[in-house]
């Protein structure tokens, strides 16, 4: 028995013989010995069932009598070795890390399991073919058991420009399966699921969360077995024949990340956030406010306009200028040029130098967009190397956004792209790369005709790693038509994600809230878009747009040349506010609060950030639609220092719309002092707000008066 323990979580692993199984994943057990744990959780043999109770192994085994979904799916030629049964041969424990070597001598397979508990529990596995024939792998899923009381699931759907949509369903007998075959972690099927006690909320209920750090295809199965046990399994989804292990070869799963909290979904999310913040590569410098040219000029690259945009940006406090799509090859629209990573002589006749010099002279960093995994059939590289496309011979390739995937697992294609990017980054002073990926994989076969998504994804990771090694000062962003590739596999090698192509503040409120269950705010690109959102046609005030983007990694995606002087001033004020608060926003604990719904769709929502030492907080309350009652509810803020007094003020600009201030709660004018306990229990009455507007509350802990002498 092995016990991994932190302040909030304990994982008990039984590796006493057969396949390792987790006996407990939840709150710390305290003072109890191993044999008592084993006896306490020992299950009865059901009537009319198999005579032994099959363990719920981390890699579940049909061969041991588990009749749910097996973890390992594969076989040798002729169908042999299809149902292995592993025995634990060795266990190495080192602090909170455990490595278990398990072997099946009949099937001639070795399975290594690595577990580590810190801010999250990580689990990964490596399968080795120790036999003399090939082993055809269908999948290798890692399963974690959920406590009996985890009776509700929270998972995610979404779409382009509408990512991270939260779904809730009962976790009951049968299976919920989420499968993704798109070649990216996708807008539609984020590899993230939470389970919890019925009705769990942001600050109540026991909650478990699981995320697979896979950047490509994945499968999640949440299953309640006939005997009542609950399990969530996660693994890479492999197409037939995609991974074949020759003798001696290995396959490593993506890492599974798991968090647990006894007090709600917000604290459970902190496990994921803290894990990301502990990465050695986590960006430590203040997140530079950026301007991105996409929704400002699209493909209309003109040096005079681009430099004028830079002037405006610098004048209002922007710190990074990102040149988006359209600077290279024949790329005058989205039908051609992808793959030709040379500066377009039409768009930039004197190269990128004049623009970069201009931007840098204004004191801003320079960033650039690329989409290295793609080619347009109308490109020089495709004309020279049609065999580099990740397609299937004999079929007409299915295009998406006029483009094909480039087979980076092909060493020649990889070298070509790597060299082009090295020339780009080596030849220019570039601080930031927006790495885009804008289509699904369809019938994506490598040079040998076998499914190629697995090898392609490994090559993408390898390429990013190589570029980071060569250019350690450059930051990278993971973009995939917005938030289509947000996962810890990509985040191991990127510094920001482009959350969504939707800059409509109303949509963004829920998109960002969904993603905040996985990412801390500083990794989440949040831009102030144009007055009329390009993806929805909705019009919002600058206040609502700016407050909605305030907490994330702030940017502007709006043609600043269109703004009135008053709008520029107001925008500059928001940028200054963000810069003033970002030490808190990007280092504190991100918090969400349960909306009050009055039985219908909630009309408003609140989220924000508490300083780690609870000395300060910023909360945004957004009125999403007209209220479902005459006046809004009280906002309760659990989790602050109960004994401290907080001065609560409304930050300017307050966004109270046209409503007269004498009809609003008086604290909105001159603030109020309340203790952390009272903020949690009594709460604070929200003002009446117009729909699609928001306010920002600032909480500051009052210094305690010196004790009387
Ligand atoms: C999709 C991205 O999500 C956008 O932000 C933009 O970079 C376009 N691609 C450019 O083609």
| Structure confidence by residue, pLDDT tens digits, 320-339 | 999 999 999 999 999 999 99
Kindly state the DSSP code that residue 278 receives in the 8-state scheme: T
Structure tokens at 619: 């909360």
Contacts of 572 by beta carbon, 8 Å cutoff, 6+ apart: 315, 316, 317
Contacts of 99 by beta carbon, 8 Å cutoff, 6+ apart: 91, 92, 112, 113, 114, 115
Residue of the CA atom closest to atom 1 of ligand 1: 481
Contact predicate 101/233, CB 8 Å: no
Residue of the CA atom closest to atom 2 of ligand 1: 481
Contact predicate 571/547, CB 8 Å: no
- Report the C-alpha gap between 584 and 613 in whole angstroms: 10
Domains of the chain: 2-277 (2.70.98.60), 290-587 (3.20.20.70), 595-703 (2.60.40.1180)
With bands split at pLDDT 50, 70 and 90, how would you rate the model's confidence at 17?
Answer: confident
Percent of the chain predicted with pLDDT > 70: 98
Structure tokens at 566: 């008053």
pLDDT tens digits along 78-118: 999 999 999 999 999 999 999 999 999 999 999 999 999 99
Instruction: Write out the catalytic residue numbers.
Output: 436, 501
Lowest mean pLDDT among 258-262, 383-387, 701-705: 701-705
Q: For residue 172, give the 3-state DSSP assignment.
A: coil
Distance 301 CA to ligand 1 centre (A): 15
Report the candidate in 300, 694, 312, 319 with the shortest Cα–Cα distance to residue 505.
694
Question: Residue 652: is its pLDDT beyond 80?
Answer: no
Q: Ligand 1 pocket: which of 293, 372, 433, 479 to mutate (most atoms <8 Å of CB)? A: 479
- Position in ligand 1 atom list of the atom nearest CA 480: 3
Match 């002037």 to its residue by tokens: 311
- Position in ligand 1 atom list of the atom nearest CA 369: 7
Q: Ligand 1 pocket: which of 294, 374, 435 to mutate (most atoms <8 Å of CB)? A: 294
Q: What is the pLDDT of residue 596?
A: 84
Q: What is the pLDDT of residue 281?
A: 94
Q: Ligand 1 pocket: which of 373, 477, 481 to mutate (most atoms <8 Å of CB)? A: 481
Lowest mean pLDDT among 372-376, 565-569, 593-597: 593-597
Residue of the CA atom closest to atom 11 of ligand 1: 325
Question: Residue 646: is its pLDDT beyond 80?
Answer: yes
Q: Ligand 1 pocket: which of 402, 436, 439 to mutate (most atoms <8 Å of CB)? A: 436
Report the candidate in 479, 360, 356, 465 with the shortest Cα–Cα distance to residue 421.
465
pLDDT tens digits along 485-543: 999 999 999 999 999 999 999 999 999 999 999 999 999 999 999 999 999 999 999 99
Q: For residue 383, give the 3-state DSSP assignment.
A: helix
Distance 177 CA to ligand 1 centre (A): 30
Contacts of 384 by beta carbon, 8 Å cutoff, 6+ apart: none
Question: Residue 708: is its pLDDT beyond 70?
Answer: no
* Ligand 1, CB cutoff 6 Å, lining residues: 294, 324-325, 369, 436, 438, 479, 481-482, 498, 501
Distance 295 CA to ligand 1 centre (A): 9
Distance 485 CA to ligand 1 centre (A): 13
From first CA to last CA, the distance across the chain in angstroms is 56
Distance 436 CA to ligand 1 centre (A): 7
Question: Residue 655: is its pLDDT beyond 80?
Answer: no
Distance 375 CA to ligand 1 centre (A): 15
- Position in ligand 1 atom list of the atom nearest CA 501: 3
- Position in ligand 1 atom list of the atom nearest CA 482: 3
Summarize the confidence of residues 382-408 as an average pLDDT: 98
The mean pLDDT of the chain is: 96
- Position in ligand 1 atom list of the atom nearest CA 479: 3
Q: What is the pLDDT of residue 245?
A: 98
Q: What is the pLDDT of residue 706?
A: 64
- Position in ligand 1 atom list of the atom nearest CA 334: 11
Residue of the CA atom closest to atom 5 of ligand 1: 501
Distance 481 CA to ligand 1 centre (A): 6
Distance 423 CA to ligand 1 centre (A): 22
């Amino acid at each position: 028995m092995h016990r991994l323990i932190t302040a909030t979580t304990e994982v008990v692993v039984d590796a006493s013989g057969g396949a390792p199984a987790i006996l407990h994943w939840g709150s710390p057990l305290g003072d109890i010995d191993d044999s008592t744990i084993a006896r306490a959780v020992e299950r009865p043999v059901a009537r009319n069932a198999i005579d032994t109770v099959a363990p719920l192994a981390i890699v579940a085994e049909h061969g041991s009598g588990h009749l749910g979904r097996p973890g390992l799916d594969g076989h040798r030629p002729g169908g042999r070795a299809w149902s292995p049964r592993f025995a634990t041969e060795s266990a190495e424990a080192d602090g909170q890390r455990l490595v278990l070597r398990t072997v099946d001598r009949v099937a001639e397979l070795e399975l290594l399991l690595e577990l580590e508990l810190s801010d999250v529990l990580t689990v990964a596995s490596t399968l080795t073919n120790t036999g003399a024939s090939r082993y055809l792998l269908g999948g290798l899923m890692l399963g974690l058991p959920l406590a009996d009381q985890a009776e509700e699931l929270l998972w995610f759907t979404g779409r382009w420009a509408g990512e991270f949509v939260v779904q809730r369903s009962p976790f009951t007998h049968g299976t919920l399966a989420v499968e993704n075959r798109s070649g990216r972690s996708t807008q539609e099927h984020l590899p993230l699921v939470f389970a919890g006690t019925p009705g769990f909320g942001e600050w109540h209920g026991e909650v478990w969360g699981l995320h697979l750090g896979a950047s490509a295809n994945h499968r999640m199965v949440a299953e309640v077995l006939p005997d009542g046990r609950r399990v969530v399994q996660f693994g890479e989804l492999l197409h037939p024949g995609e991974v074949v292990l020759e003798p001696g070869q290995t396959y490593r799963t993506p890492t599974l990340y798991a968090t647990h909290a006894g007090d709600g979904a917000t604290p459970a999310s902190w496990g994921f956030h803290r894990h990301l913040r502990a990465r050695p590569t986590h960006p430590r410098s203040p997140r530079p406010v950026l301007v991105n040219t996409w929704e400002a000029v699209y493909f209309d690259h003109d040096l005079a306009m681009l430099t004028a945009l830079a002037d405006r940006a610098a004048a209002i406090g922007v710190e990074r200028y990102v040149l988006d799509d359209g600077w290279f090859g024949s790329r005058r629209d989205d039908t051609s040029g992808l793959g030709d990573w040379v500066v377009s002589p039409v768009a930039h006749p004197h190269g990128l130098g004049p623009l970069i010099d201009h931007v840098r002279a204004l004191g801003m960093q320079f960033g650039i967009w690329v989409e290295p995994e793609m080619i347009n059939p109308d490109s020089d590289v495709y004309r020279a190397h049609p065999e580099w496309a990740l397609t299937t011979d004999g079929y007409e390739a299915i295009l998406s956004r006029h483009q094909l995937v480039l087979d980076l697992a092909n060493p020649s294609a990889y070298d070509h792209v790597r060299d082009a990017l090295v020339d780009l980054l080596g030849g220019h002073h570039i601080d930031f790369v927006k790495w885009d990926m804008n289509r699904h994989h369809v019938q994506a076969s490598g040079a040998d005709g076998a499914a190629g998504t697995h090898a392609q994804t490994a090559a993408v990771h390898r390429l990013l790693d190589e570029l980071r090694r060569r250019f350690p000062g450059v930051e990278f962003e993971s973009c995939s038509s917005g938030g289509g590739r947000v996962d810890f596999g990509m985040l191991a090698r990127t510094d920001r994600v482009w959350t969504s192509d939707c800059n409509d503040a109303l949509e963004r409120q829920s998109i960002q809230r969904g993603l905040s269950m996985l990412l801390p705010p500083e990794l989440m690109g949040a831009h102030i878009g144009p007055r009329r959102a390009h993806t929805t046609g909705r019009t919002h005030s600058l206040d609502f747009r700016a407050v909605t983007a305030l907490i994330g990694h702030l940017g502007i995606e709006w043609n600043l040349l269109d703004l009135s002087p008053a709008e520029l001033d107001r925008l500059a004020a928001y940028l200054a506010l963000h810069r003033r608060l970002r030490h808190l926003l990007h280092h504190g604990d991100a918090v969400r609060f349960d909306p009050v719904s009055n039985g219908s769709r909630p009309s408003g929502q609140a989220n924000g950030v508490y300083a780690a030492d609870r000395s300060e907080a910023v909360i945004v309350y957004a009125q999403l639609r007209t209220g479902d009652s005459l006046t809004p509810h009280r906002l309760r803020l659990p989790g602050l220092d109960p004994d401290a007094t907080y001065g609560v003020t409304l930050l300017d600009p307050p966004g109270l719309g046209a409503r007269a201030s004498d009809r609003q709660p008086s604290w909105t004018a001159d603030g109020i002092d309340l203790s952390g306990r009272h903020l949690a229990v009594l709460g604070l009455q929200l003002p009446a707000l117009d729909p699609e507007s928001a306010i920002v509350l600032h909480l500051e802990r009052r210094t305690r008066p010196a004790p009387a002498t």
